[in-house]
Structure 1
Amino acid sequence: MNEGYEEVLRAIASSDPTPGGGSVAALSLAHAQSLAVMVARLTVGKEKWADGHKMADSIISKWGSKIDFAIGLAEKDSDAFDRVMEAYRLPRSDEMENELRKSSIREATMGAAQAPFETATEALDLLSDIEPFIHSCNSNALTDLASAAELSGSAVKIASMNVRINLDFIEGEDVDVLSKSLDVVVGESSTKLESIRSNVSERLGWK
């Protein structure tokens, strides 16, 4: 572990509210992506795992380039929270200022909900790619791929809580749409994660 990694952990452990849960969800996604790519690299080029080469190449190409994007989502989440706090600090000495403050709070809060929603959808996408790869990856790294799936599932769960806590403060049709979309993401990710767990156990002879 390098010093930069330790600095991130110390920043999370500080009394500053950012980086918080939403950022940790995105970092969990980045770890999941990294593990999935590692397993893919351990699968390609080995004749024993020839059935998994095509899928492994796809995972390396797609998710290897998205690790930086996930890290960016962690920063985006922290920035979104900061904008909410800035909106709450706006003056409200008259009706015009009060209305501007209300609209700014709503806009910032919706932004704070959309950031972790993006993390959740990315994590679901990764689960969708891990699910079939479970059957053909290098079996010596199967538990690593299962770990990537568990991290993806955690990213969805953590991110979803951060979406919902923000949506609790605002109302509107866009809120309802985002809430329903989140329900779909959470439901699909749960189904895929259970399928992955079952197939991992079966391939390892644990059931």
Structure 2
Amino acid sequence: MNEGYREVLSSIGSSEPTPGGGSVAALSLAHAHSLAMMVARLTIGKEKWEEGHEAAQSVISKSQIGVEEAIRLAEIDAEAFDSVMAAYRLPRESEDQKEARKSIIREATIGAAEAPLATASSASELLSSLEIMCTSCNSNALTDLASASELAISAVNMAAMNVRINLDFIKGEDVERLSSQIDEVVLKSTTSADAIRLNVNERLGW
């Protein structure tokens, strides 16, 4: 592993609050995309798995973009949390300042919930693609596909926690909207992840 990778891990392990769980969820998604591309390329590279070439090519096309998107989502998540902290540090001496601070905190917190929601949604899309590819990919790479799936569903669950913790600090219709959206993403993702586990186990005879 190069020093850049170690530097990221060191940053995560520092006493600073960012990057935190939301960013790590996005980085887990980036790893899932990378593993998915490996499986796809191992499938396309073999004539034996011609039936799976189309699905594999689709995964490569999507995950090449997905890796970059996930890295950016990790940055966005950290920036969103930093914005919340900055909002709480705003002055509140006058009534006008208090009202302005309250509004800015609310908007920043909504942003801090929407960031991991975007990560969860992106991970859910990858799981849908993996669910298709797992039926016809190179069987020698099935455990790698399963690993990509487990990383993706972990990204969904980690991101969901970070959405929900922020909802505790938001009032109004945005709570219902964000809560409904993340619940839907988690349900869809869990269904895909379960289907992938079942298919992988069947193909491997486990």
Same fold (TM over 0.5): yes
Tell me which residue corresponds to 1:138.
Answer: 138
Equivalent residues in 2 for 1:51-62, closer than 5 Å: 51-62=51-62
Tell me which residue corresponds to 1:67.
Answer: 67
**In structure 2, distance between residues paired with 1:171 and 1:128:** 32
Of 43-52 and 80-89, deviating more is: 43-52
Letter of the structure 1 residue corresponding to residue 174 of structure 2 = D
In the alignment, structure 1 residue 165 sits paired with structure 2 residue 168: no
**In structure 1, distance between residues paired with 2:76 and 2:88:** 19
Structure 2 residue ranges without an equivalent (≥5): none
Letter of the structure 2 residue corresponding to residue 150 of structure 1 = E
In the alignment, structure 1 residue 156 sits paired with structure 2 residue 156: yes
How many Å apart are 1:61 and its aligned residue?
A: 1.0
Structure 1 residue ranges without an equivalent (≥5): none
**Which runs of 4 or more aligned residues in structure 1 lie more than 2 Å from their structure 2 counterparts after TM superposition?**
none
**In structure 1, distance between residues paired with 2:180 and 2:45:** 43
How many Å apart are 1:103 and its aligned residue?
A: 0.2
Identity value in percent: 66
**Deviations 1:24-50 (CA, angstroms, capped at 9, x unpaired):** 000000000000011001110311100
**Deviations 1:45-75 (CA, angstroms, capped at 9, x unpaired):** 3111000011111111111122111000000
**In structure 2, distance between residues paired with 1:135 and 1:149:** 13
**In structure 2, distance between residues paired with 1:141 and 1:170:** 44
Letter of the structure 2 residue corresponding to residue 196 of structure 1 = I
Of 93-102 and 44-53, deviating more is: 44-53
**In structure 2, distance between residues paired with 1:120 and 1:66:** 12
Tell me which residue corresponds to 1:78.
Answer: 78
Letter of the structure 2 residue corresponding to residue 171 of structure 1 = K
Letter of the structure 2 residue corresponding to residue 142 of structure 1 = L
Of 72-81 and 58-67, deviating more is: 58-67
**In structure 2, distance between residues paired with 1:199 and 1:147:** 13
TM-score (norm 1): 0.98
In the alignment, structure 1 residue 42 sits paired with structure 2 residue 36: no
Q: What RMSD, in angstroms, separates the aligned Cα atoms of the two structures?
A: 0.6
**In structure 2, distance between residues paired with 1:193 and 1:66:** 18
How many Å apart are 1:191 and its aligned residue?
A: 1.1
Q: Per the alignment, in what secondary structure is the counterpart of residue 155 of structure 2?
A: helix
Tell me which residue corresponds to 1:2.
Answer: 2
Equivalent residues in 2 for 1:189-200, closer than 5 Å: 189-200=189-200
Letter of the structure 1 residue corresponding to residue 95 of structure 2 = E
**In structure 1, distance between residues paired with 2:201 and 2:97:** 59
In the alignment, structure 1 residue 181 sits paired with structure 2 residue 200: no
Q: Per the alignment, in what secondary structure is the counterpart of residue 92 of structure 2?
A: coil
Question: How many residues were matched structurally?
Answer: 206
